[in-house]
Chain A
């Protein structure tokens, strides 16, 4: 399976702390994306990092990519209760047809307590 795996499956922290989530994948990718999903809602795109990039920042988010280890991490700094959600990594693969598709991991459930 090409599916990525997030680690940990669940994470519980206090407001103000940092949250780190990891993602591992199996084959070569074009890019890796992180998405957020509030309970029972659709996914929201957070950040995209291309295979030739090693680190990217967006506000309180920091994403790293290590293609040699086939892994990525998402760091949320100074977390807030509103950051409570599930976070998914998604890897972009090129199919035989030339079409590139996203394969989603199983997600990390983050709970930030006030």
Chain B
């Protein structure tokens, strides 16, 4: 069966520090991968998606970047965190079938990031 892991689960970082959040998927190949951010009490905002190794698309201009060094690994990074980067970050995957999120997405447990 497929599983998706995210770490760390929680993170407290000072403003201006770097960030690296990791997401890995097991039990599937060639997935579409996604990074979302959820502000407190709000819906999810799509940050990045990837349809393959090295292929990253950004949805909103921001202080963050993403990379996909391996088929089932997705990394969210920042060189210098801002206060506004605080939030709940969720990684997700879906089966790649001719056009993206045509199917359901499967979410990881999330990382709660607090920037002080």
Chain A interface (Cβ within 8 Å of chain B)?
3, 30-31, 33, 35, 40-45, 48, 88, 92, 94-95, 97-107
The 9 A-B pairs at the shortest CB distance, nearest first, are namely A100-B100, A42-B107, A99-B100, A45-B104, A104-B43, A104-B44, A43-B107, A106-B43, A102-B101
User: Nearest residue in B to A100 (C-beta to C-beta)?
Assistant: B100
Determine the main DSSP class of A at the interface with B.
strand
User: What class of interface size applies to chain B in its complex with A?
Assistant: 20 to 34
Among A35, A100, A104, point to the contact of B102 (Cβ < 8 A): A100
Most buried by B among A33, A35, A99, A103: A99
CA gap between A99 and B97 in the complex, in Å: 10
User: Nearest residue in B to A98 (C-beta to C-beta)?
Assistant: B99
CA gap between A97 and B98 in the complex, in Å: 12
CB-defined contacts of A97 to chain B, threshold 8 Å: 57
Among A42, A95, A98, A103, point to the contact of B109 (Cβ < 8 A): A42
- A40 in contact with B99 given A33-B104, A45-B104, A105-B43 (CB within 8 Å): no
Mark interface residues in B88-109 (1 if CB within 8 Å of A CB, else 0): 1010100000011111111111
CA gap between A45 and B103 in the complex, in Å: 10
CB-defined contacts of A106 to chain B, threshold 8 Å: 42-43
Total A-B Cβ pairs within 8 A: 65
Decide if B49 touches A99 in the complex (CB within 8 Å): yes
CB-defined contacts of A92 to chain B, threshold 8 Å: 101-102
> Does B31 belong to the interface (CB within 8 Å)?
no
CB-defined contacts of B100 to chain A, threshold 8 Å: 94-95, 98-101
Among B43, B102, B109, point to the contact of A31 (Cβ < 8 A): B102
CA gap between A114 and B3 in the complex, in Å: 32
CB-defined contacts of A45 to chain B, threshold 8 Å: 104-106
Decide if B112 touches A99 in the complex (CB within 8 Å): no
> Does B75 belong to the interface (CB within 8 Å)?
no
> Does B82 belong to the interface (CB within 8 Å)?
no
